[in-house]
Structure 1
Amino acid sequence: MTGVRLLACVWLLTHTGLARSELQFLERREGGSVVLSCGVDQRSPPPYGVYLRRSWLRPGKVLFMLTRSEFTVGDDDDRNRTSVSGDPGSHCLNVTLSDLRPGDTDRYYCEFIVDRPSSEDERVRGRTEFFLLVAADARGSADIGLVQTCAGGSAVLPCLPPNGEGLVVEGVILQRQRGSAPVEMLYHSKRHHSGSPPSSSSSSSSSHFPTERVHLSSRPGPSGITYNLTLQQLQPEDSALYSCQLLVRGRSDTSSSLGRRVFFVSVQGGDCGCSSYSTLLYALSAAVAILLFIVLIGFVLVYQSKARRGVKSHPPAPIYEEMAGVKPPNRKLLSHHLEEIESSEYRNCPVKKSSPENQYESPSGALCSRT
């Protein structure tokens, strides 16, 4: 399964490209305006149309525009508060939304349409995706951060203690708000541990995070102990504004609004197994290159070893053998042949020992030839 998963990630990379759209966080007050700048990389042929879409709270089409034509809107009520400058054929345009309302809070992206005569028209996402937050109260001055993750991943939210030094932390509260909906309490550590339900004066508690999906950790820092709340196993529907508040002994914990530090947690729909696709691709490419290099070195070593063995198994013949064209006779056979000749030449010749008394004995009757 790991190999199939890896191949699926590589297939996804080759079909979707190495770069995802950049997410831009935009915060506006109710009644204000915002400009969404849509752009796409240069291509041939150029786009002939563009969509502006919402993809989170109210998925659907906001507007559509053909090149050198007027745009159309998905909701007639938005016609008078929407304007467009630029043209899809120039690869960029600006969409202005005026008289903003809390209901305009959502994720927005542009989708360019490119003509492909031999196949279905190509749909290309713009370089930037937008998260628009329209605040209906004084929260517009709050510190809002952005945390991005993927389906099945986790998000870490720093928790700020209430004002005051030397306070004893007894627990943590996790709150969430989707668009203009009321703030809901997802997790209250003291009530989760005691098993008692939240009080009616608290925020809505219609959807709780299971205890195993929330983890509070602490560690010493330069300015004292810092606390982090980790949300695990997140899904795209969990995208929202989150606030983490520490429970301090002797302080009220019935706040119905988000805290001083708010985070928009954006959960992408892709699987976390492919989220780090660039790193995975680079690591996979490096591993394949190293493997091929090792195999190549092995082939070279084997070839050189065989070549050396071939040279040693065929030593050069002596010069005199090459000139004579025959092998030298065996010394043992030659010695044996000489012995046969000598024995045949002198086998009838009796050998007499010379007597010291008769030094003039005549060798008469000898059958052997004399030298």
Structure 2
Amino acid sequence: MTGIQYLACLWTLFITQTGCVRSDIQFLERREGDSVVLPCVVERRNLSPFGVYLMRSWLQPGDVLFMHTKSEFTVDNDADKNRISVSGDPASHSLNVTISQLRASDTDRYCCDFVVENPSSEDDRLRGKTEFFLLVSADAPGSVNTGLVETCAGGSAVLPCLPPHGAGFAVEGVSLKRQRGRAPVEVLYHSKRHHGSSPPSSSSSSSQFPAEKVQLSSAPGPGGITYNLTLQQLQPEDSALYSCHLLQRDRPDSTTSLGRQVFFVSVQGGQCGCSSYSPLLYALSSAVAVLLLLLLLGIVVIYQGKAHRSVKSHPQAPIYEEMTGVQPVRQKLAPCHLEEMECSEYRNCLVKKSCPENHYESPRSESLK
């Protein structure tokens, strides 16, 4: 195995083992009492899974159900047995899990793991193609504009801040609410107005985030000045629903729920894009990519060079070389034909001439007789 092949294999092993390729996230919003279908699909068609897990990985981490191929599924919580149904089989690489009579407590992030037998060690678990963030609320779907923001551990998320009652008033502060459980919690408050026990003329602020993790910026937009709140150095435990809104003059801040614009900030650990890996691994993958590109260019250049030489090395063969192989036949020909062919050989062309009779030679030979 050459050095380039070794580096390529090492790079492929790094990509597959470190989990740089992550699943897509699909946002699902439902009302209490509705139902939702979670399609579990695995793309590794060359493997034969014999089981599948449905898991929650955010508010209440743990297994929801497990299904063995050609068997009934089992649920972790017996109270959910009548609310969950499964269609399909893990061996077919896809199945659908339906959760009915949804509750607000079903809000969570869900994922599917397919189980594949490994004779040499423990069974392997392959993450499904798509992960799901399910938001179950008492309000009608669409009454709140919900978005998804994905980032990595140590990354940042930019949240637009909207005025709670429309535009047209001077901005005096900002409030950020977060919801991880059943009720939102204010995690950031900054205002020039009276808040709590502070004097009315003083500015007050409170935050569950360190000061270096929060940054408020403004920029001109189509409807006037827009404000963005940037949460920096996020960690997986910061994943939650966030809503940022502006505090305005002569508009009391009496809201206890999330605002009109809600974002689910999903902070992934080592599965988000490979940005959490060391620069050495980045350098290795970049070097392998460069070497593979150079190898491909070298192959193309060599192939074109061989093709060019092969065209030059096959000109039209001279008549002299072609006639070399028929030397014995040529010796049996008449002298006149030999002279004509020799003439053609030196001219490198085929010239056909008639062989006239020698009228002076024939009578002389008869007289001699």
Query: What CA deviation, in whole Å up to 9, does each residue of 1:206-230 have, x standing for no partner?
Result: 9712222111111112222111100
* Cα distance in structure 2, aligned partners of 1:173 and 1:74: 39
Equivalent position of 1:190 in the other structure:
191
* Cα distance in structure 1, aligned partners of 2:220 and 2:290: 40
Equivalent position of 2:129 in the other structure:
127
* Cα distance in structure 2, aligned partners of 1:107 and 1:274: 21
* Cα distance in structure 2, aligned partners of 1:9 and 1:246: 48
1:87 corresponds to 2:89: yes
Equivalent position of 1:77 in the other structure:
79
Q: Give, in angstroms, the shift of residue 279 of structure 1.
A: 8.8
Instruction: Rate the CA distance shift 1:226–1:101 in 2: closer, same or farther, 3 A.
Output: same
Equivalent position of 1:250 in the other structure:
250
Q: Give, in angstroms, the shift of residue 83 of structure 1.
A: 0.2
Q: Give, in angstroms, the shift of residue 173 of structure 1.
A: 0.6
| TM-score relative to the length of structure 2 | 0.68
Q: Give, in angstroms, the shift of residue 64 of structure 1.
A: 0.5
* Cα distance in structure 1, aligned partners of 2:128 and 2:136: 22
For residue 96 of structure 1, the aligned residue among 98, 111, 117 is 98
Equivalent position of 2:240 in the other structure:
240
Q: Give, in angstroms, the shift of residue 82 of structure 1.
A: 0.5
Equivalent position of 2:57 in the other structure:
55
Unpaired runs of 5+ residues, structure 1, are 1-7, 200-204, 294-371
Q: Give, in angstroms, the shift of residue 122 of structure 1.
A: 1.3
Alignment of 1:34-183 (within 5 A): 34-137=36-139, 141-180=143-182, 182-183=183-184
Q: Give, in angstroms, the shift of residue 162 of structure 1.
A: 3.9
Conserved? CA contact 1:111–1:124, under 8 Å: yes
* Cα distance in structure 2, aligned partners of 1:264 and 1:9: 33
Q: Which deviates more, 271-280 or 249-258? A: 271-280
In the alignment of these two chains, the number of paired residues is 282
Conserved? CA contact 2:190–2:206, under 8 Å: no
1:92 maps to a residue whose letter is S
Of structures 1 and 2, the larger Rg is shown by 1
2:130 maps to a residue whose letter is T
* Cα distance in structure 2, aligned partners of 1:273 and 1:24: 17
Instruction: Rate the CA distance shift 1:139–1:246 in 2: closer, same or farther, 3 A.
Output: farther
| TM-score relative to the length of structure 1 | 0.68
Percentage identity across paired residues of the two chains: 64
Query: What CA deviation, in whole Å up to 9, does each residue of 1:254-294 have, x standing for no partner?
Result: 3111111110111112287933889987644445568999x
Conserved? CA contact 1:218–1:225, under 8 Å: yes
Conserved? CA contact 1:28–1:140, under 8 Å: no
Q: Which deviates more, 38-47 or 249-258? A: 38-47
Instruction: Rate the CA distance shift 1:253–1:88 in 2: closer, same or farther, 3 A.
Output: same
Q: Give, in angstroms, the shift of residue 148 of structure 1.
A: 0.5
* Cα distance in structure 2, aligned partners of 1:101 and 1:54: 15
Q: Which deviates more, 18-27 or 97-106? A: 18-27
Equivalent position of 1:302 in the other structure:
none
SS at match of 1:48: strand
Instruction: Rate the CA distance shift 1:115–1:32 in 2: closer, same or farther, 3 A.
Output: same
Q: Give, in angstroms, the shift of residue 144 of structure 1.
A: 0.3
* Cα distance in structure 2, aligned partners of 1:51 and 1:190: 47
Instruction: Rate the CA distance shift 1:243–1:197 in 2: closer, same or farther, 3 A.
Output: farther
* Cα distance in structure 1, aligned partners of 2:222 and 2:99: 44
2:262 maps to a residue whose letter is V
Q: Which deviates more, 40-49 or 240-249? A: 40-49
* Cα distance in structure 1, aligned partners of 2:284 and 2:78: 46
RMSD of aligned C-alpha atoms?
3.5
Conserved? CA contact 1:153–1:272, under 8 Å: no
2:274 maps to a residue whose letter is C
Instruction: Rate the CA distance shift 1:159–1:18 in 2: closer, same or farther, 3 A.
Output: same
Unpaired runs of 5+ residues, structure 2, are 1-9, 200-204, 297-369
